[in-house]
Structure 1
């Protein structure tokens, strides 16, 4: 594999002869076409593929959030890569020989910012939830200007709703309206905070599963 640094045409994408061009993490890369393997994958390899697809399908809709707030980049590994590794190791459980995502183990963000103090969420009307917490500004690196974010997931619909920059840490309460197609459905919530500069975030907290009326 080689990186294209200069050239009349610059980088390219797709197959040309026996090589293929791709843009990988911001770099134009040229590499030889992979050789087809005649070996059948083992049961273990097949299961790893199934697990990987399960995690990728789940995380893909919230990839922008993960790339901003999940841990710190390590070498060429993106935050999304780190989130994927975490999910594979910590948030999967085998049920009837199939991998199931354990939602209470899922993390949406991971960082060193001091998180929420005593957060609660409750239904306050049709299609609407209220998130409450106590103000712990000044505890460690927590600031009153830190920004509140909420993520909602409905397993039945396989659908995420992401609410970013909805209140400050000192606001103590925020109302979250959900689309009407969630009516009668069970939804799961996670909340986290990030600094105003978006350089640091708290580790998300799971707020449980709730039914939308």
Structure 2
């Protein structure tokens, strides 16, 4: 309950309806109480929020990859938000609450650099080995680009390399994710500049290998 000072024409302290009166350094003032509302979210809003949360959670462990792979797309938004938007639009499948990722359509990098279309994967010495072919002429221009190598086992923390190998090396490897034997690991490769405009290529899905 609000209490008036100096009669009905004076200031007051406390709450009267949706107005609060108070005193600060001898100055009386009033302010309206914001109506936060108790309107419940619609089912559509609940689904949209859950879908966005799923996408954000999926990409969170891949943040360093996304920072390089979507850097030039994050002009009016962050690289992370650009990656989430692309994932939501093209690679999230399933119905609420059982969302899933369509790995064939997942991109972990998007950009204008030349895509390498001859990469392959194999298991060598207990690691996932990536191999790719580029001509000497292409490597004169693109040789110093960083090779982005990524392995994702559904439901487990991914493994990746973003600064260990350059394009001119034509090979690189990453450890398996810490997932059970027999788990499928979805593998991707992309290339990105480490200097200058820091452009990236589109990522290429190379299929899966099974954890031995």
Fold agreement, TM-score > 0.5: yes
Match of 1:160 among 143, 158, 161: 158
Within 5 A, what are the aligned runs for 1:16-165?
A: 36-70=36-70, 71-75=72-76, 77-95=77-95, 98-125=98-125, 127-136=126-135, 138-139=137-138, 142-156=141-155, 158-165=156-163
Deviations 1:98-131 (A, max 9, x none): 3221122111111111121300001234x21221
Q: Secondary structure of the residue that 1:165 maps to in structure 2?
A: coil
Structure of greater Rg: 2
- State the Cα distance separating 1:68 from its structure 2 match: 2.8
- In structure 2, the gaps of 5 or more residues are 1-32
| Conserved? CA contact 1:116–1:136, under 8 Å | no
Distance in 2 (alpha carbons) for counterparts of 1:191 and 1:124: 17
| TM-score, L = length of structure 2 | 0.73
1:212, 1:34 → 2: CA distance? 56
User: Tell me, what secondary structure is at the counterpart of 2:199?
Assistant: coil
| Aligned alpha-carbon RMSD (Å) | 2.6
Does structure 2 retain, via aligned residues, the 8 Å contact 1:113–1:142?
no
The 1:83–1:181 alpha-carbon spacing in structure 2 relative to 1, beyond 3 Å, is: closer
Change (3 A) 1:34 1:67: farther
Determine the C-alpha separation between the residues in 1 that align with 2:48 and 2:209.
32
Q: Say which of 170, 173, 176 aligns to 2:171.
A: 173
| Matched length | 178
Q: Which runs of 5+ in 1 are unaligned?
A: 1-32
Contact map agreement 2:153 2:177 (CA 8 A) in 1: no
Once residues 139 and 155 of structure 1 are traced to their aligned partners in structure 2, the CA distance between those partners, rounded to angstroms, is: 35
Are 1:151 and 1:162, in contact at CA under 8 Å, matched by a contact in 2?
yes
Aligned equivalents of 1:58, 1:167: Cα separation in 2: 25
